[in-house]
């Protein structure tokens, strides 16, 4: 097990380095520097600015410096647009917001998705099964950016129940619509995966044995069926996590919640490279770490996998 963890880390670390170097190279391939304005700056002013941001150094040195600072100090450097703020300040401001509704969305998607999937599998071909399948199909064509306007239309303009945007310090009225918009698609996918894997498990030999010896239904489900049926869902959690982080961009932009997605898109419009790179790298590292955790959990739960 420890050698497996070590081996996975050996893959994860180069991946993170590749990501950092790749985004740095992309930035340098950009035509024009970050300070090229419509009206060119006086040469000595330009030289001063370049020196301030370290842009007068040779490329390879900038890259090594940047990578070194990111890896050792988690320092993504200064923002190119907001003169008085560093990328770390911006992340520190936006990240708690993203994590708050992201974590809620994740919890909602997993708990409701699993519950719906299990019930649909046990009560196969009843109305609740059809409901689960219907929701799963419907949610495929309603990604967050489609669901969000529909929610606002219904709950803000027609029913006048919830505020159409803003964060307001994380009040529940402001959190509820982002969470629904972000979680629905993943809730449906988890329910679908759980339903089919549960059906498969319920038809297998050891469940028949458990029923034959007269165990009550709830005990069969809790003690025997649930654990093996969870495995496919577990391997879906990695992609789901990535999807939620990506989806949070739309949530931030549409609901003006002020998470990192909003800063990301604003920076994209203002060509604030250091902020875009910082957020891309942060998300990449989170993704890689999360996938690592999921893989380890998988190895831990599934007795057939021994490394």
Partner 1 sequence: MFPDKTVAAGLADAAHLAEVQGRSLWKDARIRFFRNKAAVISFVVLMFIVAFCIFGQLFAQYDIETPDFTLSGPNAYLGVPSIATGHYFGTDDLGRDLFARTVQGTRISLLVGVVGALVAVVVGTLYGAVSGYFGGRIDGFMMRTVDILMSVPYMFVLILMLVIFGRSILLLFIGIGLISWLDMSRIARGQTLTIKNKEFVEAAVAIGVRPMRIVLRHIVPNLLGIVVVYSTLLIPGMIITESFISFLGLGVQDPNASLGSLIAKGASQMQYGVLWQLLFPLFFFIITLFAFFFVGDGLRDALDPKDR
Residue 245, CA atoms < 13 Å, CB-side half-sphere: 19
Can you tell me which of 157, 203, 212, 304 binds partner 1, judged by CB under 8 A?
A: 157
d(CA 227, CA 301) in angstroms, rounded, equals 8
Binding residues among 89-148 for partner 1 as defined by CB under 8 A: 137, 140-143, 145-146, 148
Binding residues among 223-242 for partner 1 as defined by CB under 8 A: 242
Stretch that binds partner 1, among 46-54, 81-89, 166-174, 282-290 (CB under 8 A): 282-290
Name the minimum Å distance from CB 216 to partner 1. Answer: 32
First to last CA, the chain: 6
Per rule CB under 8 A, is residue 22 in the interface with partner 1? Answer: yes
CA–CA distance from 173 to each of 158, 164, 180, 184, 191 (Å)? 16, 9, 12, 18, 26
Can you tell me which of 246, 293, 305, 307 binds partner 1, judged by CB under 8 A?
A: 246
Environment class of 250 (CB within 10 Å of its CB; exposed 0-12, middle 13-18, buried 19+): buried
Per rule CB under 8 A, is residue 284 in the interface with partner 1? Answer: yes
SS3 of residue 79 by DSSP = coil
Number of residues that bind partner 1 (CB under 8 A): 46
Nearest to 63 by CA among 18, 31, 32: 18
- Cβ proximity to partner 1: between 90 and 253 the closer is 253
Per rule CB under 8 A, is residue 249 in the interface with partner 1? Answer: yes
Stretch that binds partner 1, among 70-78, 92-100, 224-232, 271-279 (CB under 8 A): 271-279
- Cβ proximity to partner 1: between 95 and 215 the closer is 95
Is residue 185 within 8 Å of residue 112, measured between CB atoms?
Answer: no
H runs (alpha helix) in 141-272: 144-151, 172-202, 205-212, 217-219, 226-255, 260-270
d(CA 274, CA 75) in angstroms, rounded, equals 11
Per CB under 8 A, residues contacting partner 1 are 11, 14-15, 18-19, 22-23, 26-27, 29-31, 137, 140-143, 145-146, 148-149, 152-153, 157, 242, 245-246, 249-250, 253-254, 264-265, 268-269, 271, 273, 276-277, 279-280, 283-284, 287-288, 291
């Amino acid at each position: 097990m420890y050698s497996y963890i070590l081996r996975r880390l050996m893959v994860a670390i180069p991946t993170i380095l590749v990501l950092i170097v790749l985004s740095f190279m992309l930035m340098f391939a950009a035509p024009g520097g970050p300070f090229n304005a419509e009206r060119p700056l006086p040469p000595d002013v330009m030289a001063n600015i370049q020196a301030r941001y370290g842009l007068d150094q040779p490329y390879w040195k900038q890259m090594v410096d940047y990578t070194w600072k990111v890896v050792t100090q988690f320092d993504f450097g200064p923002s190119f647009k907001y003169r008085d703020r560093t990328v770390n300040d911006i992340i520190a401001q936006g990240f708690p917001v993203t994590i708050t509704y992201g974590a809620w969305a994740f919890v909602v998607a997993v708990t409701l998705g699993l519950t719906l999937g299990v019930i649909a599998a046990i009560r196969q071909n009843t109305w609740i099964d059809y409901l689960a399948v219907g929701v799963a199909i419907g949610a495929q064509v309603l990604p967050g950016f489609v669901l969000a306007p529909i929610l606002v239309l219904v709950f803000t303009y027609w029913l006048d129940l919830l505020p159409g945007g803003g964060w307001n310090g994380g009040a529940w009225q402001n959190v509820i619509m982002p969470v629904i918009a972000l979680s629905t698609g993943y809730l449906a996918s988890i329910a679908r995966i759980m339903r089919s894997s549960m059906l498969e498990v319920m038809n297998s030999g050891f469940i028949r044995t458990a029923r034959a010896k007269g165990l009550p239904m709830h005990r069969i489900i809790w003690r025997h069926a649930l654990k093996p049926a969870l495995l496919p869902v577990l391997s879906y959690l990695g992609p789901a996590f990535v999807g939620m982080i990506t989806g949070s961009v739309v949530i931030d932009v549409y609901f003006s919640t002020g998470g990192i997605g909003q800063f990301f898109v604003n920076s994209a419009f203002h060509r604030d490279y250091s902020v875009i790179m910082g957020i891309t790298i942060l998300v990449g590292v989170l993704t890689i770490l999360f996938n690592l955790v999921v893989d380890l959990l998988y190895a831990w739960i599934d007795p057939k996998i021994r490394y």
